[in-house]
């Protein structure tokens, strides 16, 4: 409940400041522009998905980051379609892979890499001479 109240306060604050700077007509245009931009991003989400698959194959991102980045881009596109300046700022931030990776690394638990070998063993090849 407290997070919703903080969100509501920030949304009203950002919308009021934006409207006072750019007039109500500017706010109307901003809502229309970000709505259509969000629809465009939803339609082209498959291109970002393919790009993230390539990053996963090159091992630039982990599987958890791959999933979280995709979810962030989807939620960001939906947030852009919701009227409001604060939701638009969050929606735009969520479109950047670096922001999604940062949040994923910050909040996802880190997995330990298990080693299948002992570091004290030296692997050598023995050649017999006759």
**What are the domain boundaries of the chain?**
2-107
Question: Is 0.85 surpassed by the pTM of this model?
Answer: no
119 sits in which H/E element = none
Enumerate residues 6+ apart whose C-beta is below 8 A from 105: 65
**CA 24 to mean position of chain CA atoms:** 31
pLDDT confidence of residue 123: 66
Cα four-point dihedral sign 91, 14, 107, 55: positive
**CA 42 to mean position of chain CA atoms:** 14
pLDDT confidence of residue 38: 93
Rounded CA gap, 73 and 66, in Å? 11
Per-residue pLDDT tens digits for 70-125: 888 888 899 999 999 999 999 999 888 777 777 767 776 666 555 555 566 666 67
Whether 34 contacts 80, CB under 8 Å:
yes
pLDDT confidence of residue 121: 66
Residue 97 or residue 18, greater confidence? 18
Whether 58 contacts 46, CB under 8 Å:
no
Q: Cα Rg for the chain, rounded, in angstroms? A: 23
What is the average pLDDT value for the chain, to the nearest integer?
84
């Amino acid at each position: 409940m407290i997070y919703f109240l903080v969100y509501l306060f920030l949304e009203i604050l950002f919308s009021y400041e934006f409207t006072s700077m750019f007039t109500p007509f500017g706010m109307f245009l901003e809502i229309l522009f970000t709505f259509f931009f969000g629809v465009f991003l939803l339609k082209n989400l498959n291109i970002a998905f393919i790009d993230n698959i390539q990053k996963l194959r090159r091992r630039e991102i982990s599987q958890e980051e791959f999933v979280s980045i995709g979810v962030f881009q989807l939620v960001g596109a939906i947030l852009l379609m919701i009227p409001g300046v604060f939701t638009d700022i969050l929606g735009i931030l969520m479109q950047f892979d670096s922001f999604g990776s940062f949040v994923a690394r910050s909040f996802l638990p880190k997995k330990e890499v298990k080693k299948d070998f002992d570091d004290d063993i030296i692997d050598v090849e023995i050649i017999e001479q006759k």
